Amino acid sequence: MTQTMSAPERYDGFDVMPIAGEWRAGRSGESKADLDPWSGDTLTEIALADADDLDEAYRAAREAQPGWAARAPGERAGIMRAAAAIFEARKDEIVGWIVRESGGTLAKGELEWGLVRSVLYEAASMAHRVEGRIMPSDVPGKESRVYRRPVGVVAVISPWNFPMQLSARSVAPALAVGNAVVLKPAGDTPVTGALLLARIFEDAGLPPGVLNATIGSGREIGDAIVEHPLARMVSFTGSTPVGEGIVKKAGVKKVALELGGNGPLVVLDDADLDRAVDAAVFGSFFHSGQICMIANRVIVDASVHGAFVDRFVARVRALVAGDPSDGATQIGPVINQGQLDGIRDKLARARDEGAEQVLGGDPGGPSGLLLPPHVLVAGNDAATAREEVFGPVITVIRADGEDDALRIANDTEYGLSSAVFTRDVERGVGFALRVDAGMTHVNDSPVNDDANTAFGGEKASGIGRFGGRWAIEEFTTDHWVSVQHEKRPFPI
């Protein structure tokens, strides 16, 4: 007889945060309601942390880190695997939180859950992949050893759009290679961005103080988490203006930044249009366009522009917008009123500048944050094309041949993700290598769903790389140790 395992009791107590091994309220005297962007309901209310709470978190992390780093790689790997097992056992609970807190659809919640699970398993392998090397020396009898060791205490600052994944992809590798972490999630997603992850790691056996989470306002702890003298590295995912500020404030610290994007999806004259349309719909409107790697612009060769627009608009018009907890829903709400206002401002400016809006509509839903998908046809100078929109909006741009398409694709301050469609794979690769971006995908969406590859950008889109073996390099540092085996003469 097969025995069915019952689901674990759901986590609660997400009105407090883990600081120095204790789950407690912040001491700022202020609190913030965590709202469901679809219904407007309060999910939890958190007493926010202040600078003293943050300092306590850093001091606890600094104290706990050497002992954690000294543990055998197999122990650290085991905790990563245990966290992954808890993650699998609590799948429905975690997906439910992602849907309610970020406004993502069930499909988005499932995808994010799968990405984090992959990150945890990949992190488990990293504990055994930190490698040193022996370097040649010109000095007789000298041996040069290079040891790879953790940087120490890492500050992780994550955004609200893919909150659990964009926290986990830094937190899990940093922990696996022996660092301690102080995590600050976005104020809109404190549970999925930090508290759920911290509870799972705690249940997996992570020692107290190794992972601390501080939920607080940017005004109170935003600068302090970057400037704190115990932080040896800052890992940040978010907007370019905030990232530029971090570079100025971090001082002599290592930084890894994934910032804004203005992703081009290029359709060349020989592209399979049905395939390109499918990828453009997903790449433009998944999670209501609130993804840094999203296709912000679709650049289409003039010879197929009309046919592409007709097919694309027909597909987008059929998308279902509504309650994200309904499995049929493909477009959910945007995260908050400020985000909605910013999107609508860009739309208004683009129309004033002459852009043709071929599809759109007014916001609705219980909270008023459900914006239907918008399609505009315009040039690269329209507000919705030259700026990162971060909403369910796409601008389709006509290009006069391959060289013009490349020029338009690169005519932006950003360089995060991109895509090109052509029936000739080598032509696509040749085009990809000329795009100023950290990631270019041939005959695929610019929204990369492989968790263990090199995420990162060029130009105003960031510094460093996240994912896979690149994460090991980011969260460790070289220490050169030389050994002189025989006496040598010195010049004085």
Residues, the chain: 492
Find the helix packing angle between 196-204 and 163-176, rounded to 10°. Answer: 30
Q: From the candidates 122, 220, 292, 474, give the one annotated as an active-site residue.
A: 292
Contact 209, 66 (CB under 8 A): no
426 in catalytic set = no
Identified catalytic residue from 258, 387, 388, 402: 258
Residue 282 near residue 385 (C-beta atoms within 8 A): no
Report strand pairing: 374-377 vs 356-359: antiparallel
In three-state form (DSSP H/G/I as H, E/B as E, the rest C), the secondary structure along the chain is: CCCCCCCCCCCCCCCCEEECCEEECCCCCCEEEEECCCCCCEEEEEECCCHHHHHHHHHHHHHHHHHHHHCCHHHHHHHHHHHHHHHHHCHHHHHHHHHHHHCCCHHHHHHHHHHHHHHHHHHHHHCCCCCCEEECCCCCCEEEEEEEEECCEEEEECCCCCHHHHHHHHHHHHHHCCCEEEEECCCCCHHHHHHHHHHHHHHHCCCCCCEEECCCCHHHHHHHHHHCCCCCEEEEECCHHHHHHHHHHCCCCEEEEECCCCEEEEECCCCCHHHHHHHHHHHHHHHHHCCCCCEEEEEEECCCHHHHHHHHHHHHHCCCECCCCCCCCCECCCCCHHHHHHHHHHHHHHHHCCCEEEECCCCECCCCCECCCEEEECCCCCHHHHCCCCCCEEEEEEECCHHHHHHHHHCCCEECEEEEECCCHHHHHHHHCCCCCCEEEECCCCCCCCCCCCECCEECCEECCECHHHHHHHCEEEEEEEEECCCCCCCC
Cβ atoms of residues 154 and 255 within 8 Å: no
Residue 458 appears among annotated catalytic residues = no
Q: Give, rounded to a whole angstrom, the gap between the first and last alpha carbons of the chain.
A: 83
Do 122 and 107 meet the contact criterion of CB atoms below 8 Å apart? no
Q: Which residues are catalytic, by number?
A: 258, 292
